[in-house]
Amino acid sequence: MIPLRACHAAWLSALVGAAGASAYAQGTQPIPVLPEVSVSATRVERESRELPVSIDTIGQREIREDNPQVNLSEALNRVPGVSVLNRNNYAQDLQISTRGFGSRSTFGVRGIRLIADGIPASMPDGQGQAATFSLGSAERIEVMRGPFSSLYGNSAGGVIQIFTADGPPRPTVSGSFVAGSYDTWKLGAQFGGTSGQLNYLGDLSRFKSDGYRDHSAVQRDQFNAKLKIDAGNRGTVTLVMNALDQPETQDPLGLTAVQVAENRTQAGTNAVAFNTRKSIAQGQFGLAWDLPLSGRDRIEARAYGGDRQVTQHLAIPLAVQNGPTHSGGVVDLDRGYGGAGLRWTHTAGPADTPLTISAGLDYERMAERRQGFINDFGLTGALKRDEDDIVESNGLYLQGEWRPAERWSLLAGLRHTRVSFESTDYFIAPGNGNDSGSVDYARTTPTAGVTYRLSPSVNAYANIGKGFETPTFAELAYRPTGGTGLNFALRPALSLHREIGIKSKLGETMRLNLAVFRIDVTDEIVVATNAGGRSSFKNASKTKRDGVELAWEGYFPHGFEAGLAYTLLDARFTQPFTTVVGAPAVPVTVNAGSRLPGVPANSLYGELVWRHAASGFHAGAEFRHNSKIYVNDRNSEWADAYTVWNLRAGFEQRGRNWRVTEFVRVNNLSDKEYIGSVIVGEANGRYYEPAPGRNWLAGVSASYSF
């Protein structure tokens, strides 16, 4: 009998071999030329190879081709330095970290600044939601790592920006349908075009799935629209609007190692009994005005506002919920948020040695009514928490770029950020005192970098800078001592980043980027106690992150193209500290040298695609490898390393006014059993969120231009 893995390998080899033979029989296709990549993450649009920054762009084809366009894990794995762990749990969003920042987040994204069309998708305290990104209408995604992310405020890990595409030149309508395993399907419609000075695009979709695990069903309705008005010498005005409605999304919770071994598809303890679930309704708008004042000056202004409502049911035993200081098992949030920004850009000096200066200010505010109730086995019971929370962020920044000589380019920036938290407690009862309080954090963060052109196709760069990461409201909520009020002892984490790298273009068909970095963090925020449904946080002394990132892509004869993204990250605590686990609470020591949990030391993504231009056919193979991931600060447990393979193929047909595409995708081809994500520091040892076995997707889309 031939082993199953050998069959898969033989199948893959035959597929690639047949593709190569077919390409040879048809004759050599022209080899595509790699385009220059322009980015705007440093606030002034530049060709990425000229910047002393680790930054990658994911284009429209990579986002959309053979993908359901549901979440960022479909695209971000091709970026080195970024870890995207898919929880397969739409009640908690993805776990995204860059260079180790954000790995401890148990829900949403923190430590990384999320931005959509210039509008923050992260709240002023640093907590964000990637689920609001609309991939179906995206033109590109930019991912920046390193110290220049501090120019955006209190997120030291990096910046992830998504940009909605412009509408096409002619009025166009399109529709798409995707279906796959676990009764998963997505239906989408899009319309766009240009009428005089108005360009418009709208995207509407519904996604639904029963989920891989028990009690993990989801329905998500999403809308995204962009209107752009070209007012000539009065500038360009852009209006963006989006909405997300995700009702009663089931939460299967994490599993212990024993539960994974017993049945990896089961829901976690008490998930069904307490009907754990989350409902989200969010709507926001943003307005941007780009006004050229002259050939050398430009003003950019933006304003935005939105509302987010969340109701979440947690699985906490009633005896614990009834405790006098407990917030209950139902979280109810009504959040309003908004902000504004203004930036002036001036270019001076001669054309061969230009100096570009940008100065700006940002203001953001979030006002939230937070209530907690008893979760009486899925029903909402008595009030246990009632407060108003406000967080405001003010930022002033100055950035300069100068090219003093033909081969040299300098980039430097300075930002001062102040983040203020205020909580007003209305739930005061015996044993539960007044938790009202306020705290401010402020920091000035400088950054600088230099690029040197070694040859017309190879640039070397270096940068250095400081980062500033405040606690989120969730991390400030409770004191490790069990006392009332915000955790005023919690300090922001401060980081020092150093990086050197090479960006090269190998001929016209290949690109190679290499970065080596060291990050030292003081006052890293870690879990202090995690028991009884309450997590409190403290500052560890110091951590370090040493890493290497490598990105390569290339085009080859006969229609082949390939890409690799490799990350080596050695992220460790450099001084010991004490944490408390379990119930009753037991103090334990985290030793110096322990690895940061939630971060793989090695990750590798690879892709090989063959295209037959004449027929519109393409086929591709992908693989992804992650080394083992520790689940707690003590490194006492971990999720094993894994490697998974995916296959995909598709067709495209075009006419004068129409276009039709079809695709099929098989994920986890070898049916590997592995852990897709971990819940760092989970109080009851339910760290593990298993990934699906072999699963499939198929889809079709069509568009017509009038």
Give the amino acid at 246: Q
The pLDDT assigned to 29 comes to 62
Question: Given the structure tokens 């076995």, which residue do they identify?
Answer: 693
Q: Please state, for a pLDDT cut of 90, what percent of the chain lies above it.
A: 73
- Cα 153 to Cα 110: distance, rounded to the nearest angstrom: 13
Question: Given the structure tokens 């600060």, which residue do they identify?
Answer: 633
Instruction: Answer with the residue of higher pLDDT: 132 or 548.
Output: 548
The pLDDT assigned to 365 comes to 97
pLDDT at 537 over 90: no
pTM for the whole structure: 0.92
Task: Give residue 636's pLDDT band: very low, low, confident or very high (50, 70, 90).
Answer: very high
The pLDDT assigned to 531 comes to 58
Q: For the purposes of burial, counting CB atoms within 10 Å of the CB of 265, is it exposed (0-12), middle (13-18) or buried (19 or more)?
A: middle
Q: Decide if 154 contacts 417 (C-beta within 8 A).
A: yes
- Cα 267 to Cα 256: distance, rounded to the nearest angstrom: 11
The pLDDT assigned to 607 comes to 97
What is the average per-residue pLDDT within 266-278? 96
pLDDT in tens, 117-159: 988 999 999 888 888 899 999 999 999 999 998 888 888 789 9
The pLDDT assigned to 22 comes to 36
pLDDT in tens, 13-28: 333 333 333 333 334 5
Mean pLDDT lowest among 337-346, 427-436, 552-561, 670-679:
427-436
From first CA to last CA, the distance across the chain in angstroms is: 57
> What six digits make up the tokens of 145?
């790592």
> What six digits make up the tokens of 373?
């109730």
What is the average per-residue pLDDT within 259-267? 96
Contacts of 97 (CB under 8 A, 6+ apart): 82, 83, 103, 105, 111, 112, 157, 598, 599
What is the average per-residue pLDDT within 616-634? 96
Task: Give residue 583's pLDDT band: very low, low, confident or very high (50, 70, 90).
Answer: low
- What domains appear along the chain, each with residue ranges and CATH number? 31-705 (2.40.170.20)
Q: Decide if 330 contacts 314 (C-beta within 8 A).
A: yes
Q: Decide if 422 contacts 441 (C-beta within 8 A).
A: no
Contacts of 482 (CB under 8 A, 6+ apart): 325
Q: Decide if 291 contacts 259 (C-beta within 8 A).
A: no
- Cα 567 to Cα 576: distance, rounded to the nearest angstrom: 26
Helix extents (H) in 106-194: none
What is the average per-residue pLDDT within 264-277? 96
Task: Give residue 352's pLDDT band: very low, low, confident or very high (50, 70, 90).
Answer: confident
Q: Which among 410, 401, 404, 518 has a CA at the least distance from the CA of 461? A: 410
- Cα 656 to Cα 349: distance, rounded to the nearest angstrom: 48
- Cα 64 to Cα 178: distance, rounded to the nearest angstrom: 12
Q: Decide if 524 contacts 573 (C-beta within 8 A).
A: yes
The mean pLDDT of the chain is: 90
Of all helices (H) and strands (E), which one includes residue 302?
strand 297-313
In 211-276, DSSP assigns E strands to 218-230, 236-250
